Structure 1
Amino acid sequence: MGKGQVTKEHIIRQSAGLFNTKGFTGTSLSEIIERCNVRKGGIYNHFENKDEIALAAFDYMFAQLKNLLTEAMSERSTPAEKILAICDVYIDVVEQNIWEGGCPLLNTAVENDDGHPLLKQRAQLAMLELMTGLGDILREGIKLGQFRSDIDVEAVISVVIALIEGGVMLSKLHNDNKYIRYCTNQVKVYIHSDLAI
């Protein structure tokens, strides 16, 4: 990897925490420059503007989230266990403070629902990818006879994601990890009582 690419990736990694903690509006270019320990020209050698850095930072953090989810699910064999693995990843995100600022998808979605249109679109696409993956797991569970065949897959996806992301939000808001555990426990109850055959 060339020096230029190393510098670009350094800028993305360092600015990701700033954007995830302070948001797009709250993060200044001067803070990015200071945190990355590069000159202003060094930033502009790799990025046209702050928007481009923010999009790259979001993509970087979402790729990390996907890697965590993929790794956790690869160790589980059944669809129900894979959904529980997703819950475990989010518990770790909160309790181990994996990322500065918490869940990048939640933070970007909340800040940009009426804000930055490109970041909102990026968050929508990321969420759609997660929802599609969860839908595939549920359909696999139906096919294998683990889940009821009459479940509304789209509704189940919405409930599971709302519980998990709501638990992340409440835990961050109150600085108390009990909320992510309350919410993920409800996902487990939902799987076993409402979905399972």
Structure 2
Amino acid sequence: MAGVRILGSSKVRARHDDSLPPSSSTHLTFFDVWWLPLQPVKTVLLYPDAAISPALFDSFKSSLSRILPRFYLLVGDLTYQPTTGEVTIVCSNESGVTVIEAESDLDIRCLAGDPKHNMDSFFKLVPDVAHEELPGPILSVQFTRFSCGGVAVGIALHHVAMDATGQYKFIGGWAKTCCDGSVPSGLNILHDQVPEYGRA
């Protein structure tokens, strides 16, 4: 039966940047905590014509490492603080994003083109994150190679750290970094493209 097989996982850390703090703890506002019980937002990007090679996966991970300093909270973990009863996003030098590598004998063109989508198949292409337990990751990623050719990038992103607009900017910046080999200059220059983490 067609399915997905997990090959392994690794942790991708944000590439060193002097602007990054050695550690940080960002508390959630009243409006943020409403999202805590909900599952992460799941996104699947399908690339039927991508040429599969070890270099592709290496580029995928290295570009993620380059873009993460601009979206630093994504490397963190949702963590319960027993002394205050709060949940915070904790980041440190050891924090990172879990990246799962998988392979599948599903037909990527059917997944992308069938008018009636098989949701069970799509869910297999996204990391299975236990959101009911803390600490828990903000971001997890799955990279799936298809035996018939093509790849899928599955993203599980907790809504407490980023809304849809932020996710769009993150994915767009990551994709451009992967293609060009460097972080888009717009993420450094345009204020509206740099995430704001102030919680005052």
TM-score (norm 2): 0.30
More strand by share: 2
Larger relative contact order (CA 8 Å, sep ≥ 6): 2
TM-score (norm 1): 0.30
